[in-house]
A and B are shown apart, each in its own frame.
Chain A
């Protein structure tokens, strides 16, 4: 049986979430086909073709796929579904958007955000903000699942030579119109794949004060994250939110600054290898999960930390 994986990319580069999703697919076992749907995305198809273990790269290159609209991608995936027992995509905002649509059009369920492969039709996934782990078995003939990237290693990116097959059909919904996009440009590493994440909460106090976290992050080559409270307060943009409904990260080192540690936030970062927390409140719940806790005022501790590394 074969597995269809939908690649995540920005039309020029493959996103690492795809590599982790391919690791989950490898654990399930079977021939791997990867769909690259985009506009002017030949380079992405070439990158996928070099991944060892990929059988075929399906390249759907058309302006209709420029914005990854769920209506268009879902119909394309459904057209390519026959012959595949599993359809997998990363549990990013793009995958979460079109995959349930794929499942419903196929008349099957979707397993969201899998964190472990138990068997070809059985998976583990977090529920209740990660406070419980469910093991589920899918009874449908086709298994549609999104994959939590941080729960799987990345597959190798070189050594393969898969064939690239163009997909000529174009699906274009007429009732959805792209208006605009404002993407945050940053030279820092991507939040979900960074080795170190420096994250701030309400305790940081203002957008201006976040500059301290950016300085620390730049010194460490780290990504910057935030709690929902910090985003809601307007200190940082929404794409930095880590937690149950934001991004899930699992870096080697997570530095939590001025973060109390609500369960919804912990759900997004407690799989980090090492957690360091700086908070002036010694009773903050973040200290119950932190490997290293420093009870200190962040405005004196952070400059000192920046100077000492």
Chain B
């Protein structure tokens, strides 16, 4: 079985985000960029499926300008076999536009399983995997914390609001990774060197015959209302007094 895994290049998890002075968007100039943490978990799971024998090939795909090749290469270093770069300009694509491009890649590649992160930490949309599954008319399991391929099915445990739910999907299927699916491996230097020689194909929205479509217009971005720190109290008694008499929440 072939596994296709999609990755997104986003601001690094540890970087403090700043809004541009003109409120047009966040400022990403000279900011460290990385593979989205949830995508990294999806890549790790794909590679583990290959190592366990459940998958025979792991193909990694990313959409964006040239720089996204870095994230494809890091997925290749983690153990993916080959990459597909869908070249677009700097314009931010909507979840639907990304899902349409991925759907076409899936039709060309015919994987048995598509793995994605449950959400990207930049736009926090949490929608691409579900949209892809809908466009393909495939079953889906979001927020996966455990995944097991059993014959013609994949059994997925999902983290839901009330606890855990387990579903069995008939392959091919789309699964989105949550935080506790696995802990991605540390990538060693020889693997980074090896990844440079792995094949990376280039395609484009035009080649995939996917138009830009309508979208969601970004009217502006503002910083959140800052929460000002309050006071330090000296004792538990003082804390209780403040909560009771000043804040009146006890």
Residues of A within 8 A of B (CB): 67, 69-71, 74, 92-94, 96-105, 107-113, 122, 126-140, 173-184, 192, 196, 220, 228, 231-232, 237-239, 244-245, 247, 252-253, 263, 270, 273-276, 278, 282, 287-296, 301, 304-305, 308-309
B interface residues, tally (CB under 8 Å): 81
- Hey, which chain A residues are within 8 Å of B237, CB to CB? 308
The answer on a CB contact under 8 Å between A238 and B180 is yes
Binding site for A on B (CB under 8 A): 11, 16-17, 19, 26, 38, 94-96, 99, 118-119, 121-135, 138-140, 142-143, 145, 153, 155, 158-170, 173, 178-180, 214-224, 227, 229-240, 242-243, 247, 249-250
Cα of A239 to Cα of B162 in the assembled complex, Å: 6
- Taking a contact as CB atoms under 8 Å apart, the answer to whether A253 and B170 are in contact is no
Contact partners of B160 in chain A: CB under 8 A: 93-94, 239
> Given the complex of chains A and B, what is the CA–CA distance between A211 and B103 in angstroms?
48
Contacts of A104 in B (CB 8 A): 96, 99, 130-132, 134-135
Q: How far is the CB of A268 from chain B (nearest CB, A)?
A: 12
Measured in the bound complex, the distance between the Cα atoms of B239 and A177 in whole Å is 51
Q: Which residues of A contact B26 (CB under 8 A)?
A: 127-128, 131-132
Residue from A99, A134, A301 whose CB has the most chain B CB atoms within 10 Å? A134
Q: Which of A111, A138, A274 has the most CB of B within 10 A?
A: A274
CA distance A261 to B99 in the complex (A): 34
Is A132 a contact partner of B19 (Cβ separation < 8 A)?
A: yes
> Do A276 and B139 touch across chains, with their CB atoms under 8 A apart?
no
Q: List 9 A-B contacts (CB under 8 A).
A: A70-B133, A93-B159, A109-B95, A109-B96, A109-B214, A176-B139, A253-B247, A274-B243, A309-B250
Docked-complex contact A128 and B139, CB < 8 angstroms:
no
* Cross-chain contact B16 with A263 (CB below 8 angstroms): yes
Is the pair B94, A100 in contact by a Cβ cutoff of 8 Å?
no
Q: Which residues of A contact B164 (CB under 8 A)?
A: 181-183, 238
4 additional A-B residue pairs with CB within 8 Å, beyond A128-B26, A132-B19, A133-B223: A104-B132, A176-B139, A184-B162, A293-B231
